[in-house]
Amino acid sequence: MGKQPKSAISPTRAEDYPEWYQQAIKASDMAERSPVRGCMVIKPWGYALWENIVQAMDAMFKETGVKNAYFPLFIPLSFMQKEADHVEGFAKECAVVTHHRLEKDASGALVPAGRLTEPLVVRPTSETIIADAFSKWISSYRDLPILLNQWGNVVRWEMRTRIFLRTSEFLWQEGHTAHATQAEALERTHLMLDIYARLAEEVLAMPVIKGAKTAAERFPGAVDTLCIESMMQDCKALQAGTSHFLGQNFARASQIKFQTADEQEEYAWTTSWGASTRLIGGVIMTHGDDDGVIMPPRAASAHVVLLPIFKKEDERQAVMAYTDGLARELRSRAYYGRHLVVEVDPREIGGARGWEWIKKGIPLRVEIGAREIKENTVFLGRRDKPHTERSALKREAFVAEIAGILDDIQNTLFARAAAFRKDHTVEIADKGDFYDFFTPRNLEKPEIHGGFAISGWCGSAACEARIKEELTVTIRCIPFEPTGRQEACIGCGKPGTCVVFAKAY
């Protein structure tokens, strides 16, 4: 294959995937660790991607009748306790507010003062406080359904954090709905999962598997948790969104009752569903290459950067005029529901400039110099192709076809990710093969392993727990498709159903 091309990120993915991830983020200037334990600073280039994800998701939610609302950041301790599984699930990671002012002690040091009679938990999720509101708002079947969503921040105290993937504070949306019937609540649970799948595949170019979690992996307090699972380039799974059917659990805990049309009193059926800034981590790990981040065009922080080149000072004016004119023209065009976002970078810093934009993952780089003006062309680099592969295009053709070029990149990224997943998804019926599949080939790099194993599972928590214990492999989901294929349990050999096993983030 000849010599390896120069790589912008060190180490490469093959050398050290977790470190590549950190370095790719650093090089892209999307985010950084903050001085607050486990919290991150999302910088403008990363936040713009989040804004585009938010906009796309928000529109999809609203199309289904969901409206946005906002509930308090703080949850009284007594609310957390209402649902036994729920508090059990979150107790170990709650930030607790115990005081409401600061004062100076004898030594002049600032200390907490004004102790609260009831401590407040910074929301790790808002089921309990929203259920309390629902219990006041709902009295008749006429008040149902209630379809709400909240955009906000939550805190889950994490001991081992990784930027975007697992941080103590993260941004997310949490949807909460209440229904008169189980069937309607179940339908909503699936509808929202479908939206997450559509977002992941159509907007973020991340192929996902839809399925249900096992009891062990369910949301604390849920009857059923549905999820989308995506494969990263180290073959680990990333849970990219979850939709929970809560049954009447939270309704019972918070007394969400309503009178039916025939005047019976019943508990409402509720759902909740969430997706977070973790998706950004998923985008980076799905598409990034050894040159850094690659942003899928439909969600990219910007679509194209124009890089004017003037070798002689007297070329500057003409090149800048051509560049600015092209920028104006492009900005008036739309792609996937928003105006094209065009960056112009006239800094005279040599080759570092192009590399910066490659590492940021912008879909298109356009160089403009005296030659382009003369020939009325642009010199185009696509982020989905090797950075050395660039080509001239007539300016008019470029402007006319840019949406098509962006969609071509979008499709390439999806196809590449789908092919990668296919290559690393194996049906395994033999227990020995299964253990081999998940045993690191290189003991110095335990993160490199097989991928997704489609294997039988008898349904017992014991088999699931043993595999998790021995291999740190979990059942990512009981996939909706193919439905219920039978296969002997990989753990005990008893009759079972096919599920997706993998290591996971």
Residues interacting with its own copies, by CB under 8 A? 34-36, 39-44, 47-48, 50-51, 67-77, 79-81, 87, 91-103, 110-112, 114, 119-122, 129, 132-133, 148, 152-153, 155, 157, 169, 171
SS3 380: strand
- Work out how close the CB of 474 gets to its own copies at its nearest, in angstroms, rounded to a whole number: 23
- Work out how close the CB of 269 gets to its own copies at its nearest, in angstroms, rounded to a whole number: 20
Token digits for 187?
């339908």
**Residue (111 or 400) nearer to its own copies, CB:** 111
Please, which residues have CB within 8 angstroms of residue 351's CB and are 6 or more apart in sequence? none
- Work out how close the CB of 472 gets to its own copies at its nearest, in angstroms, rounded to a whole number: 24
- Tell me which amino acid residue 41 is: V
Rounded to 5 degrees, φ, ψ at 97 are -90, 125
Q: How far apart are CA 154 and CA 199, in angstroms?
A: 22
**Residue (18 or 44) nearer to its own copies, CB:** 44
**Residue (112 or 440) nearer to its own copies, CB:** 112
**Residue (52 or 412) nearer to its own copies, CB:** 52
Q: How far apart are CA 352 and CA 22, in angstroms?
A: 20
Residue 413: how many CB atoms within 10 A of its CB?
Answer: 24
Closest to 123 measured CA to CA, from 92, 102, 153:
153
Helix (H) or strand (E) holding 170: strand 169-179
Token digits for 101?
């002012």
**Residue (43 or 333) nearer to its own copies, CB:** 43
- Work out how close the CB of 296 gets to its own copies at its nearest, in angstroms, rounded to a whole number: 20
- Work out how close the CB of 118 gets to its own copies at its nearest, in angstroms, rounded to a whole number: 9
Q: How far apart are CA 47 and CA 87, in angstroms?
A: 32
**Residue (3 or 160) nearer to its own copies, CB:** 160
Residue 391: how many CB atoms within 10 A of its CB?
Answer: 11
- Work out how close the CB of 129 gets to its own copies at its nearest, in angstroms, rounded to a whole number: 7
- Work out how close the CB of 116 gets to its own copies at its nearest, in angstroms, rounded to a whole number: 8
**Residue (132 or 290) nearer to its own copies, CB:** 132
- Work out how close the CB of 27 gets to its own copies at its nearest, in angstroms, rounded to a whole number: 15
Closest to 458 measured CA to CA, from 502, 501, 489, 427:
489
- Work out how close the CB of 447 gets to its own copies at its nearest, in angstroms, rounded to a whole number: 28
**Residue (5 or 72) nearer to its own copies, CB:** 72
**Residue (79 or 379) nearer to its own copies, CB:** 79
Please, which residues have CB within 8 angstroms of residue 368's CB and are 6 or more apart in sequence? 306, 307, 308, 309, 319, 322, 323, 326, 378, 379
Token digits for 70?
């906002």
**Residue (139 or 472) nearer to its own copies, CB:** 139
**In what side-by-side order are the strands of the sheet with 390-394?**
342-344, 304-308, 364-368, 377-382, 390-394
- Work out how close the CB of 312 gets to its own copies at its nearest, in angstroms, rounded to a whole number: 23
**Residue (347 or 422) nearer to its own copies, CB:** 347
Token digits for 410?
């979008």
- Work out how close the CB of 80 gets to its own copies at its nearest, in angstroms, rounded to a whole number: 7
- CA-based radius of gyration for the chain: 26
Q: 306 and 368 in contact (C-beta within 8 Å)?
A: yes
With both helix axes pointing from N to C terminus, report the angle between 182-198 and 44-63 in degrees, rounded to the nearest 10: 140
- Work out how close the CB of 338 gets to its own copies at its nearest, in angstroms, rounded to a whole number: 12
Q: 293 and 360 in contact (C-beta within 8 Å)?
A: yes
Closest to 439 measured CA to CA, from 462, 418, 467, 463:
467
- Work out how close the CB of 238 gets to its own copies at its nearest, in angstroms, rounded to a whole number: 21
Closest to 335 measured CA to CA, from 363, 361, 358, 359:
363
Token digits for 228?
């989308």
Closest to 244 measured CA to CA, from 95, 96, 92, 83:
83
Residue 148: how many CB atoms within 10 A of its CB?
Answer: 21
**Residue (48 or 226) nearer to its own copies, CB:** 48
**Residue (40 or 294) nearer to its own copies, CB:** 40
Closest to 48 measured CA to CA, from 303, 366, 414, 240:
303
